[in-house]
């Protein structure tokens, strides 16, 4: 199953805040033998959010959405998810219980808690989710996220969102962890343009079904220094380990026949185990 992420918020697109979710989600998936297939950034525009969610709900992918699930005027994600599915927003009973517990935790006065006060009713709005969803527990402040149709909606705050995403991955998708063994191996190619390497790349993918070839040109990385400081192409293969090993031999031979200057990068081969995660 494909994994996607939708990162919502004007503050990301305007540059007021830098996105930290994308690299972290890639990391959380990678440690479980999974990979991210796509990502989208969307501002706080209800029509655009709704259209994006309609498309992603129709995809059948597993999708994480960050941001916009609060109850302030610039939070639209809950409403847009309901609109995309054509269902109403309802106060989820488990969310109501969790928010009530949060209200009790915050209460400091001697007077009884008035759950019908304007402030507390506003808090309960954060538990109104599309009808038919399940909640995602939030260990940080107990205000939950929600899941529906393989879509999982969490706050924009990393301190809340990342543990919630981990909970979803380990609770709902543990059966997918490390199901596909994966390896990646590359070499640095100097003195050859991509146009010269393209036929070789096409031949490798044709001869080794399931292996994908990647080509990452660089004008030179002075920060890393050494061989990376020269103009080069990071050329490699990824996929099933045995196929990758065989394809890499052919890739290296092909580059040598084309007259390329080859240096194998010092990083180890990346292999994800197929063993179940305990």
The predicted pLDDT at position 129 comes to 98
Lowest mean pLDDT among 1-15, 65-79, 264-278: 264-278
Which among 67, 80, 7 has a CA at the least distance from the CA of 42? 7
Task: Give Cα separations from 20 to 12, 24, 32, 189 (angstroms).
Answer: 10, 7, 19, 32
Residue in the block written with tokens 């609770």: 171
Which among 1, 4, 64, 66 has a CA at the least distance from the CA of 36? 4
pLDDT: is 201 or 179 the higher one? 201
* pLDDT average, residue stretch 106-131: 93
Q: How confident is the model at residue 75 (pLDDT cuts 50, 70, 90)?
A: very high
Lowest mean pLDDT among 70-79, 123-132, 173-182, 195-204: 173-182
Q: Which pLDDT tens digit goes with each residue over 34-71? A: 999 999 999 999 999 999 999 999 999 999 999 999 99
The predicted pLDDT at position 1 comes to 77
Residue 268 has pLDDT above 70, yes or no: no
Contact indicator for 56, 149 with CB cutoff of 8 Å = no
- Compute the distance between CA of residue 113 and CA of residue 163 in angstroms, rounded to an integer: 30
Lowest mean pLDDT among 177-181, 204-208, 242-246, 255-259: 177-181
The predicted pLDDT at position 219 comes to 87
**Strand (E) or helix (H) holding 203:** helix 194-207
Task: Give Cα separations from 3 to 24, 29, 43, 172 (angstroms).
Answer: 14, 9, 21, 13
The predicted pLDDT at position 267 comes to 54
The predicted pLDDT at position 269 comes to 43
**Strand (E) or helix (H) holding 23:** helix 21-30
The predicted pLDDT at position 220 comes to 81
Which contacts qualify for 51-55: CB closer than 8 Å, 24 or more apart? 52/6, 53/6, 53/80, 53/81, 53/84, 53/151, 54/84
Residue 99 has pLDDT above 80, yes or no: yes
Mean per-residue pLDDT of the chain? 92
The predicted pLDDT at position 266 comes to 63
Q: How confident is the model at residue 226 (pLDDT cuts 50, 70, 90)?
A: confident
The predicted pLDDT at position 160 comes to 97
Instruction: List the beta bridge partners of residue 2.
Output: none
Residue 103 has pLDDT above 90, yes or no: yes
Q: List the structure tokens of 104.
A: 């009790």
Handedness of CA 256, 266, 190, 201 (dihedral sign): positive
* Structural domains of the chain in order of their starting residue, each with its CATH number: 3-176 (3.40.980.10), 182-272 (3.30.70.600)
């Amino acid at each position: 199953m494909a994994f996607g992420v939708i990162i919502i918020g004007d503050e990301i697109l305007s540059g007021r805040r830098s996105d930290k979710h994308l690299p972290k989600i890639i990391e959380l998936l990678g440690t479980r033998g999974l990979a991210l297939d796509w990502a989208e950034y969307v501002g706080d525009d209800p029509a655009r959010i709704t259209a994006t969610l309609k498309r992603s709900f129709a995809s059948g992918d597993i999708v994480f959405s960050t941001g916009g699930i609060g109850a302030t005027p610039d939070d639209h994600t809950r409403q847009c998810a309901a609109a995309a599915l054509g269902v109403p927003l309802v106060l989820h009973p488990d969310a109501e219980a969790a928010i009530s517990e949060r209200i009790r935790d915050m209460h400091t006065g001697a007077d009884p808690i008035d759950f019908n006060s304007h402030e507390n009713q506003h808090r309960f709005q954060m538990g109104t989710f599309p009808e038919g969803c399940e909640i995602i527990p939030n260990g940080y402040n107990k205000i939950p996220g929600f899941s529906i149709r393989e879509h999982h909606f969490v706050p924009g705050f990393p301190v809340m969102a990342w543990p919630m995403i981990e909970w979803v991955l380990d609770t709902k998708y543990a059966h997918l962890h490390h199901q596909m063994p994966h390896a990646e191996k590359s070499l640095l190619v100097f003195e050859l343009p991509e146009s010269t390497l393209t036929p070789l790349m096409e031949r490798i993918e044709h001869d080794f079904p399931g292996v994908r070839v990647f080509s990452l040109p660089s004008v030179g990385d002075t920060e890393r220094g050494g061989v990376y400081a020269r103009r080069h192409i990071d050329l490699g293969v990824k996929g099933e380990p045995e196929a990758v090993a065989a394809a890499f031999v052919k890739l290296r031979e092909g580059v040598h026949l084309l007259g390329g200057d080859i240096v194998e990068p010092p990083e180890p081969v990346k292999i994800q185990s197929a063993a179940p995660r305990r």
